[in-house]
Amino acid sequence: MSVEMVEVSVKAAEPVRPAGILQQNRVFLDFFWDLAKPDQEVRLKAVEDLIQYLKTNNKADELDYTFKRLVDGLAHTRETARPGFSLALGQVLSAFEDVSLQSILNRIKEKHNLQTVKKKLVRNALFGNLFGVLALHQSSRLSKEPQVVLGCVQLLQSLSQQRQHLKDLPTKTMMDILNEIPEEVFEEVLFSALKTDLASAFSTPEQLQLLLVALQRFPQTLKPKKLKKLLGSSTIINADNIPKLTEVLKMAARSVKKECVLPAVVLDLLKLSLKEDSFQLFWNNAIINGMLKEQPGPAHYLSFRLLGSALPLLSEAQLKEVLSGEVMMHYGEHVVSAQKPDRFKLAPEMDTYVSDFLQGCQDSDKQLAVMVGFSSLTNQGYPVVPSVWRVVQHLQPAALRHYVDWLKKTFLQPQLDKLLDFSTRKQKGNQEGREEKENIFRLRKWIVARLASIIDNHQVKRQEDLIMDVARFVFFHAFFSAKKAWADIPETEGKLSVPLDDKTRGVLVNSFFGLLLSMHHLPLTDDSAEGSAVNQKRALGVTADGTMWIYHLVQYAQVLLNQPKHVQSSQPFSPEQRQAWDSMLESVANLKKKAKKGASAESGAFQQLFLLVGMHLFKAPEELLDIMKDLQSCVDKALEKKAKKKKKKQATEQEEEPEWVEVMVDILLSLLSQPSRHIRQVCKTVFTSICPNVTAAALTAILDVLDPEKDDEEDSAVVVTDDNKSKKPNEEDDEDEEMEDDESDGSDDEEDEDDDDEDDDDDAMEEEEEDVEEGEVDQNFRLELMKVLQQQNALATEEDGSSDEDLDDEAMMELDKGLSALFSEQKKKNQAKKDEKTKLQKEKTLVRDFKIKVLDLVEVFVARQAGSPLVLGLVEPLLTIIDKGMSSDTHQQEQDFLRRAADIFRNQLCRSKVYCRTVGDRQGELHDLLDKLMTKTQKLSDSSVCLYYFSASLYVVKVLRGAPTADTKEEQTAGKAAANDLRFMGNVDVDRVSAVFREALGSFMSKRKSPLTAQMFTDLFNRFPVLCVNLLDAAVQHITSGIRVHQQGQACVLVLRAMQSREVQQLLSGARWTELCVKVTGQLAASLQQVSQTESKVVKEKVVKTLELCQFLVKHVNQQKLSVDLEPLQRVLQSLPSVITFNKTGKLEDTYWAVMKHFGVMKPKVEKTKPDMEANQQQVPKKKKGFLPETKKRKKRNKPVLEPAGGNSTSTARPGADKRQAKKKNDNKTKQKRPADGAAASQPNPAKKSKTQSVSKPAKKKNKKPKQKKEGGGQMDI
């Protein structure tokens, strides 16, 4: 407000404008306030409103005042305000074209004159000039007034010398002006003014960019002849100028070190080199021989960014040349070295450059050149780009096809000399024993993962034939090799220049089964998806004609097996295995025929299982041969049973059912032990289809696997291999995932090689430490050591003393050999123990992982067959798993298994809306189960496990109760039906069940440490009101008979929840309800009488719960006007405040007065009284805090008197002077404080004497201590 008023008053003093005109319009002045606000939206709104206001009113004095305020605001001290005033000035000039730009420019120069401005405001004045020129430029009128353009450029030239404040902003503004004005204005007005800047283009990046912009905008003016006069050469990029350009590029690289961007001048130079046909010269001399000769840093990063930005500008030939040159080599070294943490990584930027190029380029040849160029950049055979490089999704179909062909060709005939291969400095030092085969393996490993990722990425524009081509290629080289080329099998035509080793085949096998999983989830391609858009459910894992992908691969495998002349299998089938393969094909053909007659999920699931097991025959034929035979017999029996069941339904036919289902379950369990996610999913699908046919024996086979007590027996279900090639047990699905971490794989090898020896040493030391920590030294080893020493007479005794000098060299050698053999043997024993321990741990992990997979089958069965009586057999096994799991180790895998089992039990079994409603003749069995569960519940120690057992008990009661039949409901009226529904308990023996829960409630109330909780019984009361009514009397008794105060409070909670239930009120309506209220009233009165005077928190919590029950009871009795005597309870309540002290605020007091309110007793109001300030003031002097004892006080010293002695007498004789001097002390804050004792006599100033006088007051003695510290200093000043 003060700023505005000052500006207005100054303007009003001028004779031109009458005083007070602007002061009448507050809205107009507010626009300028809003222009300085930090919020951008507010500033923009102010600009719009200001222009609208000026156009509407059209007053000359307001327009003139507007220009004054806007020009002043250009140099605003607030940085966010300057752009607002600059934008407003430009928009106002654009709206009022009759205002001359020259007049505004003169105003700007006059107001922000750098010669007359104060030194501390120079920076603001610089920005004022700059934003003034920007405002003139934003008005879009500069081209109409050439002289103003000249003035702006000259002003910017003077500002460009102030780089410490403005940096390169003036030069950039000049470029913007050049982009706006026509060529005539440049030639006639600006060229002469810019001659100096243009001539010094090679001095700074900004001036070079100014020249490049002028060349681009005004080619007719800056012809080669004029350029030669300016620069000495008719072209910018030539051999003579390359050193100058290199220095400018280095300056530009350093200027954007923190911004991590490509300077515009560099890209403009590249474009100019392409235009002048001097790209080769520029790239080789300025970039490769100039920038890359610098140390790795900004100069290299600029070169890499220029490479990425140049991709859309170069031709195909230039792309191939650039992507196989030194810049790419240095980029590869950067990617490898940048893998270490805390290092700058430019690879994400390059990914963006390549992705943008591929997305905007429609030329498939250029796309292919870029992909091949980056894929050819290898570090010891391994490409630096990741195998899952997602830029491939932008390739055109033709480019993708050619890229896949290049990958396949490189796999078959790897030519490392044609790749851009490099090694780091460390790798070159360790390259002596490295063979070329290792590099070829690394390259082939990356190519296989690259091919698999193309299929796995659903964003890639691939056709069905390309998918099949990749799958056939990987499958062929994983399991076959070509003997003779044959046109019908294209894979036989490609010859391997280097044979495949076992490591490469292992990679191919794993990648193939990963491909199978990807194809299992593969959606229809874009072309075929249009035709199937009508289908609501999206088809996965099938081709356009509806055939499964895996079926096409099986047919291809059959073709290969039938051509032994042209194709050779890496692991040929035995006759028995080939027979199993042929029978599998026959079974699949039969299933397809029957599926055509009537499609069913069961036949499709069996087909998937057959085909998948058939493909796994190539990987592990011996393990899966028996499974294949059993599977065929099971499917045959299942289909026969289904056909017979359609013709006739007889009991004898149902007896055949258990055979095939049980065998099928055993097969699924065997397959689940295989480390394959694909097998796991197919097994789950198959089990889903056979769920309705599962029998008790089949379900028992599944539960036996999960039984913790049978772990030792079930170890045989999992094959534990003890070799180096075995997978990590917790990575069961590794074969289905591509080999990722490519960057680390390709870049950290040199670090791994360097650290191998150190790691080995560290491991050896750790092993020795572990051996020591394992316990005492092995006694057998000690005896053996004694024997060796005694044999060589090297063992010291007391008689001959300890000396090994008597031994000759031969004896010492023999002793060394004996000790070496002994310690070597001991080391082997220790290693064997460790290997055994590792094997057991690995086996345990595999078993746990296998059980997690088996839980899939349990989950499917619970979800699909929740209403089956067989589900009841899952209750106890799942509870056993949870109970054992809670007490087992805290390994992450163990916790996952436990969490999964608990989720299935609680959320999918106990809380399922679908449950078994046909108990039949199993009532007695279920009641026995309930007794067993509740007995176990009371014996547990862990409350969390107890919760699961209690939930299981409630589930059993729910199953026993069932639901009322629909026939009985229809016969009864609505009221009777509702009442009968409340009392309906189905097959529940109410008395027996009530006794069970009454016993549990008694255990809860009578044991000090019970696993049961009040919430468990609350759930029981809410779900089964009939049982609640039977247990209510017991709960009421426990209000006073609970063993602890806590249990008594919990009894009050249970009774309150029960009485609040509408169902309970309906069941106990009439006299029974009144009787209950009388009992509860008596118990509450007795409970409150037991309360003694105490401050115990537990007692107060019990009283709160008791009062809550009292509140509900008294309120309900009064509302219903029941004949219940509340006087005894009222008397006890009235005496309660004398027993327990209430807090000023709190739940206890609020609940108490809420209860008393129902008796007509209101909470007394407490009058608020102001504290007695005078009494507090009188008490302050009595507090002697901060006072020094007399022994600690400094004594008065005899010092020379430097002032009249009358000063001392006045200090004690004039108490009134203290007040006057105190006022002076507050006014004169610059005066120095003086010490408290004895300093007054040495000071001539009376005001200083008053400081010592005021210290004698008790209230001021807190300042005594600091004053004493300054005593010496005060004397020295005098």
What is d(CA 466, CA 449) in angstroms, rounded to the nearest whole number? 16
Where do we find the tokens 């004045």? 125
Tell me the pLDDT band of 1196, cut-offs 50, 70 and 90.
Answer: low
Tell me the pLDDT band of 1145, cut-offs 50, 70 and 90.
Answer: low
Residue 1233's pLDDT is what? 42
List, in order, residues 6 or more apart from 89 with CB less than 8 Å away: 67, 70, 71, 74, 104, 132, 135
In this model, does residue 1160 exceed pLDDT 50? yes
What is d(CA 1246, CA 1251) in angstroms, rounded to the nearest whole number? 9
Q: Is the distance from CB of 711 to CB of 357 less than 8 angstroms?
A: no
Q: What token pair was written down for 573?
A: 């089938």
The torsion angles phi and psi of 378, rounded to 5 degrees, stand at -125, 150
In this model, does residue 123 exceed pLDDT 60? yes
What is d(CA 1007, CA 450) in angstroms, rounded to the nearest whole number? 66
What is d(CA 891, CA 884) in angstroms, rounded to the nearest whole number? 14
* 3-class DSSP state of 480: strand
What is d(CA 751, CA 739) in angstroms, rounded to the nearest whole number? 20
1162 CB burial (10 A radius; 0-12, 13-18, 19+) = exposed
Q: What token pair was written down for 730?
A: 């917790």
Q: What would the pLDDT profile of 168-213 be if each residue is shown by its tens digit?
A: 788 888 888 888 888 888 888 888 888 888 888 888 888 888 888 8
* 3-class DSSP state of 719: coil
Sign of CA dihedral 110, 113, 116, 122: positive
Please state whether 1274 falls in left (phi above 0), alpha (psi between -120 and 50) or beta: alpha
Mean pLDDT of 1216-1222: 45
CA nearest to 466, candidates 521, 510, 403: 403
Report which DSSP code applies to 860. H
Mean pLDDT of 375-400: 92
What is d(CA 1037, CA 1052) in angstroms, rounded to the nearest whole number? 10
Residue 1206's pLDDT is what? 39
Mean pLDDT of 1160-1168: 76
The torsion angles phi and psi of 568, rounded to 5 degrees, stand at -125, 130
Residue 749's pLDDT is what? 43
Query: Which is higher by pLDDT, 487 or 435?
Result: 487
What dihedral do alpha carbons 354, 355, 356, 357 form, nearest 10°?
Answer: 50
CA 1261 to chain centre: 61
CA nearest to 1112, candidates 1145, 1074, 1143, 1081: 1081
Q: What percent of the chain has pLDDT over 90?
A: 26
941 CB burial (10 A radius; 0-12, 13-18, 19+) = exposed
In this model, does residue 430 exceed pLDDT 60? yes
* 3-class DSSP state of 1013: coil
Q: Which long-range contacts (CB under 8 A, 24 or more apart) does 349-352 make?
A: 349/260, 349/304, 349/305, 349/308, 350/304, 350/307, 350/308, 351/389, 351/391, 352/308
Tell me the pLDDT band of 1187, cut-offs 50, 70 and 90.
Answer: low
Task: Lowest mean pLDDT of 125-134, 332-341, 443-452, 914-923, name the range.
Answer: 914-923
End-to-end CA distance of the chain: 49
Tell me the pLDDT band of 1237, cut-offs 50, 70 and 90.
Answer: very low
List, in order, residues 6 or more apart from 447 with CB less than 8 Å away: 407, 410, 411
Residue 930's pLDDT is what? 92
Residue 835's pLDDT is what? 85
Mean pLDDT of 674-680: 85
Q: Is the distance from CB of 664 to CB of 634 less than 8 angstroms?
A: yes
Where do we find the tokens 């001392």? 1208
Q: Is the distance from CB of 392 to CB of 457 less than 8 angstroms?
A: yes
What is d(CA 47, CA 53) in angstroms, rounded to the nearest whole number? 10
Residue 994's pLDDT is what? 93
Q: Which long-range contacts (CB under 8 A, 24 or more apart) does 681-684 make?
A: 681/517, 681/520, 682/520, 682/605, 682/608, 682/609, 682/612, 683/609, 683/856, 683/857, 684/856, 684/857, 684/860
Residue 436's pLDDT is what? 81
Q: What would the pLDDT profile of 231-275 be if each residue is shown by its tens digit?
A: 888 888 889 889 999 999 999 898 888 888 898 889 999 999 998
Report which DSSP code applies to 376. T
What is d(CA 131, CA 124) in angstroms, rounded to the nearest whole number? 10
Mean pLDDT of 819-843: 83
In this model, does residue 17 exceed pLDDT 50? no
List, in order, residues 6 or more apart from 449 with CB less than 8 Å away: 387, 388, 511, 738, 739, 740, 742
Task: Lowest mean pLDDT of 320-324, 331-335, 819-823, 930-934, name the range.
Answer: 819-823
Sign of CA dihedral 703, 708, 709, 712: positive
DSSP secondary structure string, 22-52? Answer: GGG-HHHHHHHHHHT-S-HHHHHHHHHHHHH
Q: What would the pLDDT profile of 48-103 be if each residue is shown by its tens digit?
A: 999 999 888 888 888 889 999 999 999 988 888 889 999 999 999 999 888 888 99
Residue 1036's pLDDT is what? 93
Q: Is the distance from CB of 1030 to CB of 957 less than 8 angstroms?
A: no
Q: What token pair was written down for 14?
A: 């001028």
Mean pLDDT of 370-394: 92
Mean pLDDT of 442-461: 91
Residue 1076's pLDDT is what? 92
Taking CA atoms, 109 is separated from 72, 106, 120, 490, 953, in Å, by 11, 5, 18, 80, 91
Report which DSSP code applies to 726. P
Tell me the pLDDT band of 721, cut-offs 50, 70 and 90.
Answer: very low
Tell me the pLDDT band of 750, cut-offs 50, 70 and 90.
Answer: very low
Q: Is the distance from CB of 210 to CB of 174 less than 8 angstroms?
A: yes
The angle, 0 to 180 degrees and rounded to 10, between the axes of the packed helices 60-73 and 40-57 is 160
In this model, does residue 821 exceed pLDDT 90? no
Q: What token pair was written down for 243?
A: 């050193």
Which among 806-815, 890-899, 1010-1019 has the top mean pLDDT?
A: 1010-1019
The torsion angles phi and psi of 1049, rounded to 5 degrees, stand at -65, -40
The torsion angles phi and psi of 919, rounded to 5 degrees, stand at -70, -40
Task: Lowest mean pLDDT of 192-196, 761-765, 780-784, name the range.
Answer: 761-765
What is d(CA 282, CA 274) in angstroms, rounded to the nearest whole number? 9
What dihedral do alpha carbons 314, 318, 323, 327 form, nearest 10°?
Answer: -90
What is d(CA 1094, CA 1101) in angstroms, rounded to the nearest whole number? 12
Query: Which is higher by pLDDT, 631 or 1081?
Result: 1081
Residue 955's pLDDT is what? 92
Residue 14's pLDDT is what? 39
In this model, does residue 790 exceed pLDDT 50? yes
Which among 197-201, 580-584, 740-744, 1141-1145 has the top mean pLDDT?
A: 580-584
Q: What would the pLDDT profile of 404-422 be if each residue is shown by its tens digit?
A: 999 999 999 998 888 998 8
In this model, does residue 975 exceed pLDDT 70? no
Report which DSSP code applies to 801. B
In this model, does residue 806 exceed pLDDT 70? no
Residue 633's pLDDT is what? 81
Residue 748's pLDDT is what? 44
What dihedral do alpha carbons 547, 549, 550, 551 form, nearest 10°?
Answer: 30
Taking CA atoms, 1032 is separated from 955, 1013, 1073, in Å, by 21, 16, 11
Q: What token pair was written down for 943?
A: 């409350």
Q: How many helices (H) and strands (E) does the chain have?
A: 63, 5
Q: What would the pLDDT profile of 226-241 be if each residue is shown by its tens digit?
A: 888 888 888 888 898 8
Strands (E), 369-488: 377-379, 382-383, 420-422, 480-482
What is d(CA 1065, CA 403) in angstroms, rounded to the nearest whole number? 78
Q: What percent of the chain has pLDDT over 70?
A: 77
List, in order, residues 6 or more apart from 294 with CB less than 8 Å away: 250, 300
Task: Lowest mean pLDDT of 642-651, 809-818, 1250-1259, name the range.
Answer: 1250-1259
Q: Is the distance from CB of 687 to CB of 609 less than 8 angstroms?
A: no
The chain-wide mean pLDDT, for the chain, equals 78
What is d(CA 239, CA 1094) in angstroms, rounded to the nearest whole number? 100
* 3-class DSSP state of 378: strand
Tell me the pLDDT band of 1242, cut-offs 50, 70 and 90.
Answer: very low
Residue 1275's pLDDT is what? 39
What dihedral do alpha carbons 1206, 1211, 1214, 1217 form, nearest 10°?
Answer: 110
Tell me the pLDDT band of 1164, cut-offs 50, 70 and 90.
Answer: confident
Task: Lowest mean pLDDT of 506-520, 604-618, 714-728, 862-876, name the range.
Answer: 714-728
- pTM for this prediction: 0.70
Q: What token pair was written down for 436?
A: 């070329």
Residue 1189's pLDDT is what? 65
In this model, does residue 1245 exceed pLDDT 80? no
Q: What token pair was written down for 813?
A: 């050698």
What is d(CA 1213, CA 1191) in angstroms, rounded to the nearest whole number? 27
Radius of gyration in angstroms for the set of CA atoms belonging to the chain, rounded to a whole number: 47
What is d(CA 1151, CA 1140) in angstroms, rounded to the nearest whole number? 14
Residue 920's pLDDT is what? 67
In this model, does residue 1224 exceed pLDDT 80? no
Tell me the pLDDT band of 113, cut-offs 50, 70 and 90.
Answer: confident
